[in-house]
Structure 1
Amino acid sequence: MEYTEYVIIVAGGKGTRMGTEVPKQFLPIGGLPVLMRTIRCFRSYSDKMKIILVLPKQQQEYWKELCEKYSFNEPLTIADGGETRFHSVKNGLDCIPDNACGTICVHDGVRPFVSGGTIHRTCKEAMKSGAAVPVIPVVETLRHLYKVDAPESLYDFDGIAALQISGEPMSETVQRDEYRIVQTPQTFNVDVLKRAYRQEYMKEFTDDASVVEHDGHSVALVEGNEENIKITTPFDLAVGEAIIAQDPSYNL
């Protein structure tokens, strides 16, 4: 079959952390709903990419109304959302033929600022190694929380004695250069991702890379882009508005 690039855009948020009745993927940012901006990022990257949008059934009618309101007519396939993100991605995969040849990006619907460069890097690496995830460096100091089993322990921190009671969390600084912040799209060879998603669901599956790794396939890291934030809170919306104001290329 012809080599094809696919993207499964998962949009199943409820807006809980946003504090709104309208799901976060439908909130306007820069005059356009977040989800529409996300879709246009991939359409701008390639007019040949096959787009699969995964939406909960109860949100699909509202999505159609939004598309009419904003005259949004990007060609795409809609799949039903599942009980978990894992099941939603699996439903999206069912829209792709088993004998398809190419790569599949899996992207959060509320990441409307992914760059074409990030998409290209993940697709290129997935073609080579089978699995690629975009990451950015950690710039803040990180601390690791842990608990001590001893009934009482006396710790000395920079010469200062501190009593730690069992069950109370302790913490320690970790080397931030050993960590990376993971973004999407997480991109895979069609065969690699379809095989991985034949596994039974596990609560440890926090993203697509974890599903693929559990199936025995390693995941390569590629450079992401800092603007590729996940819109989940009112603060994120404000940051998104600032990104659009600062960089006209995001004013789709």
Structure 2
Amino acid sequence: MGADRPKQFLPLAGEPVLLHTLRRFADPTLKVQQCILVLPQDQLEAWQQLCAEYAIALPHTVVVGGATRWASVRNGLAALAAHSTGVVAVHDGVRPLTSANVIEATYQAAYNHGAAVAAVVPKDSVRNLSQQGSYALNRARLRLVQTPQCFEIGLLRRAYQLPELSTFTDDASVVEDLHPIHLVEGDYRNLKITTPEDLLVAEAILTTFPI
């Protein structure tokens, strides 16, 4: 991002990106029982300051993350020790435009199937690189994975008891050796804030196409 602060703390429509994200899951119609916010140790004070500055009163528990995404999810999962059953969602803090419909559908699919992930069909043509050059892939058979990624909590705990591998890119890749992953239709507006132009697009969506 090249900004002066972590991207989850950057302003979006006058509020931190992370506040928008947290608000999505605090929607009372979703009936989420507990929100765990995982942050690096050196970002805790900055988040506390933002909570004071923006009077953030949405219920959530802050947990210190680890050196990798895998370790951070494991730490967050440990904070749910009081829950022996149910469905847990893992979500990117920099996906602030996730609709309640996508969240609810992914939770419901995980309740029915054990593991579910929001995903969309690629809009662009896709090519695979090889030593001989590149070749086209059938994008109708490909999906771009988003979050939330939802799992039966016991299944996710079993997956995170296994050793971490370099091939783990998200929670679905951690779980898939234990259980099939059900795909749920995501939303193209559910973008991940990664580069400066993403913030411009996100603000345009918020002001033009309210979710």
Q: TM-score range by the shorter chain?
A: over 0.9
Q: One-letter code of the match for 1:224?
A: G
1:114 and 2:98 equivalent? yes
1:58 and 2:42 equivalent? yes
Deviations 1:196-232 (A, max 9, x none): 0001111101100000013x21100011111100001
Deviations 1:40-72 (A, max 9, x none): 011115354310000001100010000110111
1:240 to 186, 202, 208: 202
Q: Is residue 143–residue 173 contact of structure 1 (8 Å, CA) maintained in 2?
A: yes
Deviations 1:62-94 (A, max 9, x none): 100001101111111111010000000000010
For the residues of structure 1 that align with 2:209 and 2:13, how far apart are their CA atoms? 12
Q: Is residue 106–residue 117 contact of structure 2 (8 Å, CA) maintained in 1?
A: yes
* Shift in CA distance, 48/219, structure 1 to aligned 2, threshold 3 Å: closer
2:149 paired residue number: 186
For the residues of structure 2 that align with 1:139 and 1:191, how far apart are their CA atoms? 35
1:197 paired residue number: 160
- Please give the root-mean-square deviation of Cα atoms over the aligned residues, in Å: 1.2
2:8 paired residue number: 25
Question: What is the identity percentage for the equivalent residue pairs of Structure 1 and Structure 2?
Answer: 45
Three-state SS of the structure 1 residue aligned to 2:206 is helix
For the residues of structure 2 that align with 1:231 and 1:192, how far apart are their CA atoms? 29
Q: Is residue 125–residue 139 contact of structure 2 (8 Å, CA) maintained in 1?
A: yes
TM-score when scaled to structure 2?
Answer: 0.96
**Which structure has greater strand proportion?**
1
For the residues of structure 1 that align with 2:160 and 2:70, how far apart are their CA atoms? 8
- The higher radius of gyration belongs to 1
Q: One-letter code of the match for 2:120?
A: I
1:172 and 2:172 equivalent? no
1:231 and 2:193 equivalent? yes
Q: Is residue 36–residue 76 contact of structure 2 (8 Å, CA) maintained in 1?
A: yes
* Shift in CA distance, 70/99, structure 1 to aligned 2, threshold 3 Å: closer
Three-state SS of the structure 1 residue aligned to 2:154 is helix
Three-state SS of the structure 2 residue aligned to 1:71 is coil
Q: Where in structure 2 are there 5+ consecutive unaligned residues?
A: none
Moved over 6 A (4+): none
**Which structure has greater helix proportion?**
2
For the residues of structure 1 that align with 2:85 and 2:100, how far apart are their CA atoms? 22
Q: Is residue 43–residue 49 contact of structure 1 (8 Å, CA) maintained in 2?
A: no
For the residues of structure 2 that align with 1:59 and 1:171, how far apart are their CA atoms? 42
1:222 paired residue number: 184
Q: One-letter code of the match for 2:158?
A: R
Three-state SS of the structure 2 residue aligned to 1:50 is coil
Three-state SS of the structure 1 residue aligned to 2:86 is strand
1:81 and 2:58 equivalent? no
